[in-house]
Amino acid sequence: MTIAQETENRAESLNPYHIVQSQIEQAAARLGLPRHVIEIMKKPKRVLSVSFPVKLDDGTIRVFEGFRSQHNDAIGPTKGGIRFHPDVNEDEVKALSMWMSFKCGVVGLPYGGGKGGVICDPHQYSESEIERISRGFMEAIADFIGPDKDIPAPDVYTTPQIMGWMMDTYSRLKGSYSPGVITGKPLSIGGSQGRSSATAQGCVYTIAEAMNHLGKKLQGATVAIQGFGNAGRTAADLLAELGCRIVAVSDSKGALYQPEGLDLAEVKRLKDGSAITDYPAQYRLQRAEEILGLDVDILIPAALENVITAQNAHQIKAKIVAEAANGPTTPEADRILFAKGVLVIPDILANAGGVTVSYFEWVQNLMHYYWSEQEVNEKLRAIMIQSYQAVSQLAGEHQTDFRTAAYMISLKRIHEAMRARGWV
């Protein structure tokens, strides 16, 4: 095999769309689902590709491209984020919409999965340009979404303010105030208490359950966090409050490792200012990927897809891998980790706190009645613990990994809804 062929095969194995399809096949085989049901599950119901012009600050016009994928709406309207990133592509968006279906299914939300994205690097544009990009994309997809059809939310490099602009654009187009069309909004226009920390909070609830499952204490447990964005830094704070020692973090610019525990306040100050690598030099890792192989109790991949692969899975020493990111572990790596006895809390469970509180926000918008942060967190905790226990029990019964068990729960729920509606 030539180097070019090897590179092509490796790229193919890391295609997120093909990864989620293989995950569906594996779980569906254990459930004995009919072939036609599996084929329905393996493809989104619809995928929209759009292009739209935006006037930049210098007066020039640039045409942006974007996508919106809606996977399966048997249980209810589709739900999922919108990301602004230069690497957005159709296969990624399709895969993420499918993961959202199974994420909603495993925690029992009345949603199918959706996902969207615009190909752009938001760091290259001013705030006014980002606003015009946001409004332009919403205008392009407005006929395909709605509070009872498809409800977007924030994702990579999108913010509550961007959601606010998009909600405003949709409301103007429809001629009525429609806060329920999008979640992750600012509190002043229908956002939910607890939404900004929900992904990390839900992940921490599952980590606490997993540590209890393994008979280990959180007090003094060591943690490495790959990806120090919103979810990663919030998880660091929450785990530190529970007595964990955050010994390593990384971002796109580098990684830090301090065995006695990092000064989180200083790391966050540097993250918001120059770069985390301005931390004392003796604590910098030469390669950011080294963070994955550190001897820690808990490893949290909180960045993008495909960071734990067959090439590095053997190096992982953590007892628990809690996937705060979407799709950070490839199927080949999954098999290696399961054989090593590593407990992987899969993304569709570990990071389901975000969509769960987005669901709470949508419900509050529809009711025009809003909850306190304490009430939101209590409801979130109950759902995450119940879902973790259901996955753990099924994994034990079938002697399989948590990811397969989580997919089995979701596939069963979606199949039952499809059958009840007479689709299959």
Catalytic residue ranges? 115
Number of H helices, E strands in the chain: 14, 11
Amino acid 254 reads: G
Closest CA to 92 of 189, 17, 8, 186: 17
Per the document, the length of the chain is: 424
Contacts of 415 (CB under 8 A, 6+ apart): 31, 33, 37, 424
The closest alpha carbon to 252, from 232, 270, 227, belongs to 227
Show the CA angle centred on residue 378, arms to residues 147 and 238, nearest 5°: 105
Tokens (6 digits) for 77:
């309207």
Instruction: List CB contacts of 90: < 8 A, sequence separation 6 or more.
Output: 47, 49, 67, 69
Instruction: Say whether 70 sits in a helix, a strand or coil.
Output: strand
Q: Roughly what angle, to the nearest 10 degrees, separates helices 3-13 and 16-31?
A: 60
